[in-house]
Structure 1
Amino acid sequence: MRRSNLPAELNRFVGRTTEQAALTALLGTSRLVTVVGVGGVGKTRLALRTATEVQKRYGDGVRLAGLAPLRDPGLIAYALVEAFDLTDHTPRPPREVLVEHLAERRTLLVLDGFEHLVEDCAPLVRELLERAPGLTVLAAGRRPLRVPGETVFPLAPLGEADAVELLAERAAEAGAPGLPTAGTGVASLPGARVPMGISARTGATPTGAPDREAPAQSPAGEAEAVRELCRRLDGIPLALELAAGRLPLLSVEQLLRRLDDRFRLLADGTRGALPRHRTLRTAIGWSHELCTPEERLLWARLSVFPGAFDLDAVEYVCGGPELPPERILDLLGGLLAQSLLVREDGPAGTAYRMLDTVAAYGAEWLAALDDTDRMRRRHRDWYMGLATWCELEWFSPRQPEVAVLTEAALPHLRAALDLCLELPDDAHLAQHLAGTLWFAWVGCGRLSEGRHWLDRALALASDHEEARLKALWVLGYVAVLQGDGTAAVAALHECGERAGAARNPLAQAYATHRMGCLALLTDDMPRAEELIGRALDAYRELGELNSNVLMAQVELAMARAFLGDREGAGALSREVREICEERGELWTKAYALYVLGYLAWDAGAYGEARELLTACVSINDGFRDLVGLVLAVELLALVTVSEGDPLEGAVLQGAAVPVWDTVGVRRFGSEAFDVPRALCARRAEEALGAEAYRAAFRTGQGLSAAEAVERALLAGRNPAVGRSTEESAPRPFRAAGPAGVPGTRKPADSPTGKGGEAAG
C-alpha cells in the first residue's frame, strides 16, 4: 500500500507561511484539527500542503479522503476504505474494517468536503478517533465537525502582500504580462507575453484604439490598482485566481472597474459592505458574466458531474441544439483558460474537474433554467451506457483498461445509482446497473460496495423481471464470495424460482451456476460438479460465452481436481486458458492458471507450478481480486517449501493470513481448499523446527498485501527454473495506456442479444 495518496501540486503554493506553521504545531497537540473558512479561501490547499510537510511524523502514512462527490451518506465509510487502499470482501460494515486497520497504526487522515454530510460524518470520525489512538484527522470544510476534542482553525483570506503575489503569479501562468507588485516592481513568469493584438497594460483593443475606461497609468498607479483589486476581492484565493484568468484580455483597471460596478450593485452603493462569502459569490458571478452565453450554459450543465469527466462524456451529457457537440472542446478550453476548470491527467486519460464552489454556482443556474432533472438523467444515461460497454469489453483484450476506466468513473456510477434509487419509476434501472457492474464488484475488489448497491436496488419493487433476475444472481454471486451462504441461497433460490416462472433459461442457468459455486466452497464436490455441469450445458445450448461461463468451467475443473480427476481438471483448465488467450481475457485466465499450478505441483513439476502461480498473482493483483490472489500466494508457499526453501514458504504462508482476514472466512471454511496450507505448514515446521517456523510465519503476518505480492513475485530466483519470477510473470497493468470508449459520442447500447454478461 502506498504511504500517501496526496496529489502533487500543479503550481506553486503561495503565502500562508504563518498559517502553515500554526497548523503544523496544532497537529502535534490535537488529534482532530478542522480548518474552517468561506468557500474559496484555500482550506483544502493549506491542508494538503501541511499534510505533505508533516507526513514523516506518521509511520503508516497520510491519506486523503474527498467526500464532496458523495450524495449517499451510507458511502462515507466506503470512501474512507477506498482512501486507505483497503479491499475487503467480507460482509462486515466498512467502519469495522476501518477500525481494525487503523487500531494499531499511526496515520494522518485528511478529510475534505464533508459539509453536506456532516451529520453522518461526525459520528464516524468520533468512533475512529476513539478506537484508533494512533489516528490524527485534519479536516477542511466550511463548518466544524463538532466532535469532542476538535480544534477549530479558522482560515482568514490572504494578506495583501500574499494576495498580490498570488494574483501576479497566476496571471503570468495564464499568459498575462507581468504585474507591478510593489512600487515599480514587476512580477512575471518566464515566457509570459501579451496576447497578440491586445495590450493589457493600456487596454488597447485589437484595432489599437485605447479603451476609454482604462487610460494608460504610471507603474506606481498600476501597482496601486493591483493592490486595490486584491482588496476588493478580500484576498480570497479562488476569487484572485478567477481574476487572474481574465488578465490576458483585460487590464487591471478595466477589470477593477467592471468588478466595482457589480459590487456597488450588490452592496446597494455602500463600499466595502459585502461579507466575504458574498465577495466570492460576486467574483464568481462576475466571471460568469464575462463568459460567452455558450460557456455559461456549459458551466451550468457541467455541474451535474460529481467528479472528473472526459470529453466524450461532456459531449453527450451537455451537448444539444444550444451546445453542438463539435463546439464542446473549444468551450471547455475557454473555461479552462479562465481557471473555472482544472485539467487532470490520470491512468484513464485526460479529464477535467470543476471546483466545488464553481460547480455549486453552476448548479444554481441550472436550477434556474429548470433543467437539473433532465441533465441528471442524461448524466445517468451516459454512465449506464458506459457500464454496459465496460461489461461487454470485460471479455476482451481491453479488460485491464476496463478496470482502470471503471475506477475513474466510480463517482459518476455512484451518482447514477443514487438517481435511479431516488426515482420510484426507475427501480429497474437501479437493478440493471447494479447487476451490470458485477465485474466491478467481483473482478475489481469491490464486493462490499457491490453488496450495498444490490441490497438497496432489490429492496425496491419493479415490474421489469429481467433486471431483477440479473441483480439477484449477481447478489448471490457476491454473497457466495463473501462467505454469506444464507444470503446467497436466498437470492439464488429466488432467482431460480422467478426465472422458471418467467421462462428465462439464461437467468436460471446463472442461478444454477452460482449454487454450484456455493457447493464447491462448502466441500460438496459431487453437487458442485452436477450443478456447474448443468449450468455449462445450458450456457452451450443458449450460445452464452463470456468470463462467467469460462469461470464456471474453471470451477468445474476445481471440483474434479478435488474429486481426484486430475486429467479431467487439466483438460478443462487448458481449454479455458486457450480461449482466454484467444480473446485476450486475463481475469478468468488467472483462475485457470491457479488450477494448472496446483496440478503441476501435484505432478512434481515445481518450476512450472511457480511460473503459473506467479503469473496468477500478478494478474489478480492488477485487478485487486483478493480471492484469487490469496489462493495463489498460499499455493505458492507450498511450492516454495517443495522446492527446498521452507523458511520462505513459511513467510509466504504467514503473509496470506491478513489477506484472508479481508476476504472473509479463511479458505471459505473448506477442507479441500485448506489442503495446501495444512501440508505447507506441516512440511515447513518439520524442516525448520517449531520455533523457527513460527518466527518466519509471524514475519509474513506482518507484511502488507502489497508487500506479500512483491515477496511472492520477487522473493528469489528459482534454481530449478533458472529464471526470475519477474521474467516469467506478466505485469498487464503496468503499461496499460489511457482507457476510453473508442470513437464514442454516445453511450453504448444496452445488450439485448446473447453472448454478453448483460444477458440474464
Structure 2
Amino acid sequence: MTRSEKGSLPAEVTSFVGRRREMAEVKKVLPAVRMLTLTGPGGVGKTRLALRVAMQTRRAFPDGVFLVELAALQDHALLEQTVADAIGLRDQSREVLVDHLRGKQLLLVLDNCEHLGAACRVLAGELLAAAPRLRILATSRQALRTPGEHIRPVLPLPLPDLDVTPGDDSAAGDAIQLFSERAAAVVPDFVVTPANQATVARICQQLDGLPLAIELAAARVQILSPEQILQRLDDRFRLLTAGSPAVLPRHRTLQEVMNWSYALCSPAEQRLWARMSVFVRGCDLDAAEAVCAGDGIPPEDVIDAVAGLVDKSVLVREEDGDSASVRYLMLDTIRHYGREKLRAADEEAALRRRHRDYFLKLTERHAAEWFGPAQEEIAVRSRREFANLRLALKYCLNTPGESQTGLRMAAALHFYWYGCGPLAEGRHWLDRMLTLDVTPSRARAAALWTNSHLAVAQGDRAAAADMAEECFQWARSAGDKNMLAHGLFALGTVEWANGGDLPRTLALMEDCLALFEALGVMTAVTAIAYVTMSATLTQLNDLDRAMAVSQQAGALCDQHGDRWARTYVLYIRSLTEWMRGDVARARACAEEALRDQQIFKDALGTVFVIESLAWYAGSSGEHERAAVLLGAAHRLYPMEGSKPLADLPRYYLVHDECERQTRHALGDRGFQTAFDRGVSFESAQAVAYALGEDADGTTSAPAAADDPLAQLTRRERQVAELIAEGLSNKDIAARLVISTRTAEGHVQNVLTKLGFTNRVQLAASFGEYRQVRNL
C-alpha cells in the first residue's frame, strides 16, 4: 500500500482486463452522486473495478483518494478508527473524523462493507451530511441502504460466443483474454490459438464469466491442458448447467468454483487450506507451521503444502516491502470457503485457540525483545500482523475462561500501543478486558499500569490515576516487587502529567528505578522512567542533574541497542540544552529524535518534538517558522487522540509564551497565516518541514537551467544519487528514513522524469550529471 497526503491506493500486481463499459458508466455517475455502491457476488471483481475507477478519477479529488479496507475488520466499534487511520487521522472519535472531512473534497473507497452493513450505513450517512464535497465509492455484496446511495451492480464478464470462427480475436472477448493472460503467468508460452479457443470459451462460459473462477481455472494450465480443465468442469459443475445460468444463486456458483479447486488439492493441501483460513490478511511460513501442523500434516510437510496452494492460486505469495519475509494471503472468498471446511471437520475451535496461542507467544516474545536491536523488525512485524492480533484479542474477549489470557496479551502489547501509535486502540482493548475480568490478579495489574500509561498520553489523567493506584495497591498487598515497580512508574507518570508535587514525582521515579535496579529489570519502561525523572528535574531547574540522568538513560539505551526509548532521551536532552541556552545543540538532538521516531511511526513522540522545535525557532527569532510548527503540532495532536500540549499543566506553559512572542513579532494576521499553513500539513509534511525539508514535496533544489536534474524535487535528487551509488530500494529507504514503498515510488518517479527505463541506465549516465552539477 502506498499512502501519502493525497491518498492511499494499492499498486496493481496483475493486469486489468475488460470492464470498459462499466468503467465509463461508473466514472460518469460518480461525480453526480454522493455515494455509489458497487454490488455483486464475491469474486466478480467489485474491488478491482472500484480501485481502477478511483485511480483514474483521482485528479478530480484534490484532497485525495483513500482506500478503507474492511474485509479484515470484525468489530464494528472500530469502524470510525479504521476510516480515520486510512486518511491519516489516528485514534479519533467520530466527531473529529466528521470535522476533519467537513471541508474536504476527497473520495473514500469503502471496500467489502457487507459484514459491517449497519455500521457503514450510519457512518456514511453522517459523513455525507457533514461534508458536502465528500464522495463515497463502496463495494458490498448487498446495498447499504444509505440515504442518497446509488447502486451499480457489477456483472460477470460477458460470455464468449461459442459460434465464432476459431482465430477471430475480435470476438474472443474479455473472459478469454483474462484466461489467456492468467494462464501465461504460470506457463509463459501459453497462448489462445485457433486450436484451443473454443475449449477456452467453453471453460469461461461454464464458469459464468466470474473473474475469480476464470483465474483459478487458468492457474491449472500449469498441470492440465484446457481440454482436461474443461472435462473436470463438466464433472464438477453438473448442477450449474441444470437451470438457466442467468438465475443461478451467486453463492452456489462461487461455491462450486471453490469445490472444484478444493478437489484438485492433495489431502494435506485441503487440510492446510481449511486451517489457514483462521488467519486474517495472511501469515508467514512460521505461523502456518506453528498453527496448522499436526493431525495429518507433519510439520516438515507444511512448506510443500503451502507451495502447492500457491501453485493452485489458493494462496497468493506476497513479499513485504518493509521486511525480508514472504507472506501468504487468501482471497476473502477462498478464506470463507476454507472456514466452512474447517467447521465441517470440527476443527475450528482448536485452530482458533492455536491461532491465539501463537500470537500470544509472539506478542510476549516481542515484548521481551523490544528493548534491544530488534526493535525496528518487531515494529514492522507487529504492524503487519495487527489484524491477527486483533482476532486473537477478540477470541480472548468472546471465549469463556480466556479473560486472564486476554489481559496478559493486551498488556504485553504496551510496546506497540505506546511505541507505534495506536493509543486509542490499546485503550479500547484494555478497557474491555479490564471490564470483563475484575478479579484482582497479576494479569489485571499489568493491564492496569499499561492502560494508565496510555491514558496519560491521551490526557485522560483521572482514569490514569485510578488505574495506577489499583495496580500499586495490588502489587503491594501481593508482595510482587516487579509489579510494584511498574505501579510506581504509573503513579509517577500520572503525578508528572498532572503537574502536581514535583518532589513527589521525583521520589516515585527514584523508588521505581531503585526497584528495577534491584530486580535487574532493564526494559524500555526503565528507560522511560529515567526520561520522566530527567523531565521532572528540568522542571525543577536542576539542569545539571537532569542532563546526568538523561545521559544515564542514553547509555542504557545504547547498551541494549534500543532506538525507540532513545528518541525520548534525545527529546528531554534537547529541552535541557535549550534551557541552558544552547539552541543549536537542542535543535540537533530534537531533529535526531524526530528522524528515528519515523522508523516506529511514533506519532505521539513526533508531536512532542515538533512542538519543541517551534519553541527553539521562536527563541532564535525565526518567528514565522515557529508559528508554522505550532500549527503543525496543533493539527497533529488531535490526530493522536490526545489533548493539546497547552492543556498539560506547568511543563508546557512555555507553549503559551512561545505563541505570545511569535504573535507579537508577526502580528495577528501574519501569525495566523503561518499557523494555518502548519495546520494544513499532513503528518509527513509536518515532519519534513520540521527537519528543514520541502513540506510539499514539489519544490526543486536550486539548479542551473541546463541541469538535467532540475525537474526533480529535492528528495528525488537524493534518490537519484543513491541509485547511482548502487543502493537498493530498501537501502535507500534506510538511508533516508522512509518506508521501502515510498522509496520505490521515488525511484519510479526519477526514472520516468529522466526518461530511463531501468536503474542501470541511470547509473551509467550519472557521471555526466555529476559534471553538470559540479559534484
TM-score of Structure 1 vs Structure 2, range by shorter chain = 0.7 to 0.9
1:161-201 Cα distance to aligned partner (Å, 9 max, x none): 110110111111111653436xx2xxxxxxxxxxxxxxxxx
Look up the match of 1:410: 386
Whether the 8 Å contact between 1:87 and 1:624 is mirrored in structure 2 is no
| 2:675 partner letter | F
Whether the 8 Å contact between 1:37 and 1:142 is mirrored in structure 2 is yes
Look up the match of 2:684: 706
Deviation at residue 274 of structure 1 after TM alignment:
4.5
Whether the 8 Å contact between 2:175 and 2:209 is mirrored in structure 1 is yes
Write the distance in 1 (CA, Å) between the matches of 2:592 and 2:404: 40
Write the distance in 1 (CA, Å) between the matches of 2:510 and 2:551: 17
Match of 1:364 among 340, 343, 346: 340
Look up the match of 1:466: 442
| 1:474 partner letter | T
Write the distance in 2 (CA, Å) between the matches of 1:450 and 1:733: 26
Whether the 8 Å contact between 2:472 and 2:487 is mirrored in structure 1 is yes
1:224-258 Cα distance to aligned partner (Å, 9 max, x none): 11111111111000000010011122222221122
Deviation at residue 670 of structure 1 after TM alignment:
3.0
Which protein has greater RCO, CA pairs closer than 8 Å, 6+ apart?
A: 1
Whether the 8 Å contact between 1:4 and 1:63 is mirrored in structure 2 is yes
Deviation at residue 613 of structure 1 after TM alignment:
0.7
| 2:190 partner letter | G
Look up the match of 1:24: 27
Look up the match of 2:182: 170
Deviation at residue 605 of structure 1 after TM alignment:
1.8
Question: Secondary structure of 1:35's match?
Answer: strand
Q: CA 1:661–1:735 in structure 2 vs 1: closer, same or farther (change >3 Å)?
A: closer
Write the distance in 1 (CA, Å) between the matches of 2:737 and 2:328: 23
Write the distance in 2 (CA, Å) between the matches of 1:734 and 1:451: 28
Look up the match of 2:746: none
Match of 2:464 among 484, 488, 500: 488
Q: How many residues align?
A: 687
Deviation larger for 401-410 or 65-74? 65-74
CA-based RMSD of the aligned residues comes to: 2.4
Match of 1:504 among 471, 480, 503: 480
Look up the match of 2:709: none
Write the distance in 2 (CA, Å) between the matches of 1:617 and 1:672: 24
| 1:10 partner letter | V
Whether the 8 Å contact between 2:440 and 2:474 is mirrored in structure 1 is no
Look up the match of 2:7: 4
| 1:703 partner letter | F
Q: Does structure 1 residue 48 correspond to structure 2 residue 51?
A: yes
Q: Does structure 1 residue 303 correspond to structure 2 residue 277?
A: yes
Look up the match of 2:755: none
Q: Does structure 1 residue 437 correspond to structure 2 residue 413?
A: yes
Write the distance in 1 (CA, Å) between the matches of 2:656 and 2:693: 22
Deviation at residue 736 of structure 1 after TM alignment:
8.2
Write the distance in 1 (CA, Å) between the matches of 2:597 and 2:236: 58
Look up the match of 1:33: 36
Q: CA 1:66–1:603 in structure 2 vs 1: closer, same or farther (change >3 Å)?
A: same
Question: Secondary structure of 1:548's match?
Answer: helix
Write the distance in 2 (CA, Å) between the matches of 1:246 and 1:584: 49
Look up the match of 1:562: 539
Whether the 8 Å contact between 2:359 and 2:388 is mirrored in structure 1 is yes
Deviation larger for 25-34 or 454-463? 454-463
Deviation at residue 106 of structure 1 after TM alignment:
1.3
Whether the 8 Å contact between 1:619 and 1:732 is mirrored in structure 2 is no
Whether the 8 Å contact between 2:318 and 2:329 is mirrored in structure 1 is yes
Deviation larger for 456-465 or 431-440? 456-465
Look up the match of 1:195: none
Q: Does structure 1 residue 594 correspond to structure 2 residue 571?
A: yes
| 1:670 partner letter | L
| 1:164 partner letter | I
Look up the match of 1:680: 658
Look up the match of 1:280: 254
Whether the 8 Å contact between 1:129 and 1:136 is mirrored in structure 2 is yes
1:7-41 Cα distance to aligned partner (Å, 9 max, x none): 11111100000001111111111111111111111
Look up the match of 1:248: 222
Question: Secondary structure of 2:553's match?
Answer: helix
Q: TM-score, normalised by structure 1?
A: 0.86
Look up the match of 1:426: 402
Whether the 8 Å contact between 2:40 and 2:154 is mirrored in structure 1 is yes
Write the distance in 1 (CA, Å) between the matches of 2:381 and 2:137: 30
Q: CA 1:152–1:706 in structure 2 vs 1: closer, same or farther (change >3 Å)?
A: same
Query: After superposition, where does 1:532-611 map in structure 2 within 5 Å?
Result: 532-611=509-588
1:510-543 Cα distance to aligned partner (Å, 9 max, x none): 1221121111122222221122222222222222
| 1:171 partner letter | A
Q: CA 1:697–1:474 in structure 2 vs 1: closer, same or farther (change >3 Å)?
A: same
Write the distance in 2 (CA, Å) between the matches of 1:269 and 1:25: 35
Whether the 8 Å contact between 1:561 and 1:569 is mirrored in structure 2 is yes
Write the distance in 1 (CA, Å) between the matches of 2:188 and 2:686: 52
Whether the 8 Å contact between 2:404 and 2:443 is mirrored in structure 1 is yes
Q: TM-score, normalised by structure 2?
A: 0.85
Write the distance in 2 (CA, Å) between the matches of 1:651 and 1:634: 10
Deviation at residue 499 of structure 1 after TM alignment:
2.0
Query: After superposition, where does 1:137-216 map in structure 2 within 5 Å?
Result: 137-159=136-158, 160=160, 161-175=173-187, 177-180=189-192, 184=194
Q: Does structure 1 residue 121 correspond to structure 2 residue 120?
A: yes
Question: Secondary structure of 1:5's match?
Answer: strand
Query: After superposition, where does 1:383-402 map in structure 2 within 5 Å?
Result: 383-402=359-378
| 2:576 partner letter | L
Write the distance in 1 (CA, Å) between the matches of 2:585 and 2:326: 41
- Structure 2 residue ranges without an equivalent (≥5): 161-172, 695-713, 719-732, 742-775
Write the distance in 1 (CA, Å) between the matches of 2:584 and 2:404: 51
Question: Secondary structure of 1:379's match?
Answer: helix
1:309-333 Cα distance to aligned partner (Å, 9 max, x none): 1111101111115212222222212
Look up the match of 2:768: none
